[in-house]
Copies of this chain bind each other. A is one copy, B any other.
């Protein structure tokens, strides 16, 4: 999941699906003319395997839908762990993070 989000193109694909959900491979290819269809397909496959995108076929098209659940879980289970101490860190930021520079700043 982290790896799926590590690539900028994939995040851009998520953005595109955020703007307009349920797009086909074709439609997404049109939005990324700097890449071939195969590149887009590979990225979509990664996103799908990470469960960030869910698909269903509609005739000869494959429609892609954004799945926010993994991102929410990421926030709850991982980010919150580091983001919460941030509140306390802000109070004593210098003492926590920059003990070496506190002498000159203080």
Contacts and interface: CB of A to CB of B under 8 A. Distances in A.
Contacts of A84: 68, 93
Contact of A89 (B6, B68, B82, B85): B68
Given A71-B79, A75-B75, A79-B79, A90 B100 contact: yes
Q: Copy number in this complex?
A: 2
Nearest to A65: B97
Given A2-B6, A5-B2, A6-B6, A86 B72 contact: yes
Interface string A59-93: 00000011111011011101111111111011101
Interface string A1-37: 0110111100100100010010000000000000000
Given A72-B85, A83-B93, A91-B100, 5 more contacts: A2-B8, A56-B100, A74-B83, A80-B90, A91-B104
Interface of A: 2-3, 5-8, 11, 14, 18, 21, 54, 56-58, 65-69, 71-72, 74-76, 78-87, 89-91, 93, 96-101, 104
